[in-house]
Structure formats: structure tokens, C-alpha cells
Amino acid sequence: MYKLYLTCPRGLEEVLCNETKEYIPQKINIDNGGITFNGNLEDIYRINYKTRIGMNLHMQLFEGHVSNYNDLYRIIYNFNWTKILNHKNTFSIKTKLNSDVLQKQNFCTMKSKDAIVDRIRKETNSRPSIDKRNPDFYIFIYIKDKKIKVFLNSSGWPLFMRGYRSKIHKAALNESLAAGILKLTNWDKNTALYDSFCGSGTFLIEAAMDAFKIPPRILRTFYAFQNWKDFDKKLLEKIIKEEQNEIKYKEINLYGSDIVSQNIKLAKESIEKLNLTKYIKLDTKDFVNIIPSEDNGIFISNPPYGYRIGEMENLKNLYKKIGDHLKNNFQGFDGYIFTGNLELLKSVGLRTKKKIILKNGMIDCRLAYYPLKSGKF
């Protein structure tokens, strides 16, 4: 069994834990920015293929204690790196620091790189190369206080990269974050779900894939673990077949709209890639023209939240209109607004039941919940 660390967007650790429990029987511990647990190769392959909320799955190589940069070099140099890679391979290093002892992130990365290169050069009389964009091996180093943990990233490119986007919308939500937010809404996959600021369609696509049990990376063909020496191709093929056999399509009510026609075009392209066109209804409309035909369901949106001078007054007016529209036309629904501008939520004018703290990259965000069933707004 290996010690594994699965990362996720901040604020979704418990949601990720609950998701992973569905197919991992081992004990799971919630950590800051992810979860930790023990697992085997089958777990590594399945999680990389199946998790909707996880972003990178790391396998721990070793751990130790460091008091200075020389300790860092020494402990990394002492590991037998030729068990993992050779001089013909490329690798990258990502470091994360939460320490008063070692505070220079770039210097830690450089010292770690030097230690690995020097050790392999000693063993083989040649050195591997660094490739920051598309390496054979992804090494992740986490230093908290004086404790260091060194991991091999089994995912490679982050797992939010599903493969269905042809182009990236400038304000597109991280797919793992969108999937986690949908879990927080407790959408039952049967009632209607509306997104009236759908952009490139992330909420809608993630909702459909979850409802139909479509593996989130059904279009993705490569993971970093496929470069590992013990890669088992037949085991991966078995897992992929098992997960794809779970796919079941059904009637579903997913409605997306956006006032920008280019956004709808991008959404349609992604939806077509997954053969979901008949299940997701899209329209180029202003949100005030969206009137649900159902009596209940979920309204979920990520409206604009720019900070540029001159934008705030227009955005406050927009958020007020959203609140008025929900109050007048979405009674019986559960309303959710996700934003990175906390000031704008004050303009919605509706009573929130809760505000869930989340991170969108480095941006502090809130998922505000407005129960529209009671008539008390």
C-alpha cells in the first residue's frame, strides 16, 4: 500500500472525502487542501479516472525533517532516485511551503532539483533534464514547519483538465471546483437545474456527467503514472471498462443561458464532444428572460465579479437584478450564487441561509445559498 495525498480546491476537502469513500474502503483523513489515505495501484488508477473533485493524486516517496537548506539538499540527495527515473527521463518539481524555517520557494525548488540531478549523475554518469511543461515525472515537495514530504504526482496535468474544452473561456470555472459546488447544492439529479450565466457551460456539463455516471476524464488519454516502471496497462484498461459500463442516460432537465453568443458557442462545442447535446438546453438570452416552467429545482450561477474601476456600480445593479429575478420567478427553488466579490452579494437583496467559504485559485470566494421555497426573502 502507498501513502496517497489527493488535492482539491480549498473548501471542498470534506466533499472530496465523501466522494472518495464511495469507492475507497480505507480510512481517509481530511488535510488542508485535500485528503490522505493508503491505497494500491488500482486505487491510484481508479481515482485518477473517476474523481470529479480531486485535482492531483500524489504518491508519497519519503519524508523527513529539515532545519535548513543544506538539510533539504541532503535528504533529497540520499533517496535512490534511479528507482524512479533515469538520466534519459525529464522531470519537474513543484514545492509548497508552510514553514518559518524554509521560506524561499524558488530556492527550495532549485536545491531539490540540484539534489536529484547530482544523485542520478553519480549513479549513471549522466543527468536528466528539467521539463516544466510536459515532463515524464512530476515531483511534488511539501514542507510544513520542519517536516518534509516528497511525492510523485500520479496525475500529471491537473485532473480538472477533463479534455472536453476546445477553447478556454476567460472566466471559466475550474471543473473540479464546479463539480464540488454542485455537490454542495445537494442537487438530486432529477429536479431541474438552471444556470443563467452559463459561460462555457461548466456547471451544466459537470451536472450531466455526474447524473449519467460518465467518468470525468472519459476523453483524457494520458496520466503521469503511465510513465512509471510498474505501470500495468491491463489493469488501467480493466478499470476504464468497469467505469464506462456504469454509464446510464436518462431524462434530465438542464437549462443554460448567457447573453453572450460566443459563450453559448463554446458551451455547445464542449457539450457536442461528450454527446450531451440532447440533454442540455442552451439559449442566448439575458437572464431576466429566463422563466422556469418547473415549480422547484436548483438555480446555480457564477455571475461576473470584476474589480476594475467603473465596474462596481454596474455589477451591483446586476446582482440586485439577479436577486429580484430569483424572488419574482424562481419561488420554490434553491438559489446559489458563486462569487469572488463578497461586496456584491450585499446587492442581491435576499436573505442567505449560509455562505460557504471556497477558493477559486487564489481568490477568496463564497457560495451563497438562498432558499426560495419559504416565501421569506
> Given this model, what pLDDT does residue 66 score?
95
Q: What is the pLDDT of residues 283-298, one digit of tens each?
A: 999 999 999 999 999 9
Q: DSSP state, 159?
A: T
> Given this model, what pLDDT does residue 233 score?
98
- What average pLDDT does range 35-55 have in this prediction? 98
79 and 181 assigned to the same domain: no
Distance from C-alpha of 320 to C-alpha of 231, rounded to nearest angstrom = 54
CATH number for the domain that contains residue 103: 3.30.2130.30
CATH number for the domain that contains residue 279: 3.40.50.150
Task: Give a yes or no: residue 279 inside a domain.
Answer: yes
Residue matched to cell numbers 470529479: 52
- What average pLDDT does range 222-237 have in this prediction? 97
Task: Give a yes or no: residue 358 inside a domain.
Answer: yes
Number of domains observed in the structure of the chain: 2
16 and 142 assigned to the same domain: yes
> Given this model, what pLDDT does residue 168 score?
67
> Given this model, what pLDDT does residue 374 score?
60
Q: Could you list the residue range(s) of the whole structural domain that residue 109 is in?
A: 2-153
120 and 209 assigned to the same domain: no
| Phi and psi angles of residue 9, each rounded to the nearest 5 degrees, phi first | -60, 140
Within 10 angstroms of residue 261's Cβ, the number of other Cβ atoms is: 9
Q: Which of 153, 188, 222 is the last residue of a domain?
A: 153
Q: What is the pLDDT of residues 157-203, one digit of tens each?
A: 999 999 998 766 666 789 999 999 999 999 999 999 999 999 999 99
Distance from C-alpha of 193 to C-alpha of 207, rounded to nearest angstrom = 9
Residue 276 has pLDDT above 90, yes or no: yes
Residue 309 has pLDDT above 60, yes or no: no
- What average pLDDT does range 313-339 have in this prediction? 96
Q: DSSP state, 172?
A: P
282 and 359 assigned to the same domain: yes
Residue 277 has pLDDT above 70, yes or no: yes
355 and 320 assigned to the same domain: yes
User: Closest by alpha carbon to 26, among 54, 49, 10, 3?
Assistant: 3
Q: Answer yes or no: are the C-beta atoms of 115 and 122 closer than 8 Å.
A: no
Task: Give a yes or no: residue 183 inside a domain.
Answer: yes
Q: Which of 153, 187, 205 is the last residue of a domain?
A: 153
262 and 292 assigned to the same domain: yes
User: Closest by alpha carbon to 331, among 343, 323, 341?
Assistant: 323
> Given this model, what pLDDT does residue 305 score?
87
DSSP element (H, E) containing 60? strand 56-65
Task: Give a yes or no: residue 31 inside a domain.
Answer: yes
Q: What is the mean pLDDT of the chain?
A: 94
Task: Give a yes or no: residue 21 inside a domain.
Answer: yes
36 and 134 assigned to the same domain: yes
Task: Give a yes or no: residue 226 inside a domain.
Answer: no
130 and 57 assigned to the same domain: yes
> Given this model, what pLDDT does residue 361 score?
86
> Given this model, what pLDDT does residue 172 score?
73
Q: Which of 85, 120, 153 is the last residue of a domain?
A: 153
> Given this model, what pLDDT does residue 307 score?
64
202 and 284 assigned to the same domain: yes
In percent, the amount of the chain with pLDDT more than 90 equals 91
- What average pLDDT does range 133-152 have in this prediction? 96
- What average pLDDT does range 134-138 have in this prediction? 97
271 and 336 assigned to the same domain: yes
> Given this model, what pLDDT does residue 308 score?
61
Residue 152 has pLDDT above 90, yes or no: yes
186 and 146 assigned to the same domain: no
Residue 377 has pLDDT above 70, yes or no: no
Q: Answer yes or no: are the C-beta atoms of 45 and 235 closer than 8 Å.
A: yes
Residue 103 has pLDDT above 90, yes or no: no
47 and 99 assigned to the same domain: yes
pLDDT band at 348 (very low <50, low <70, confident <90, very high): very high
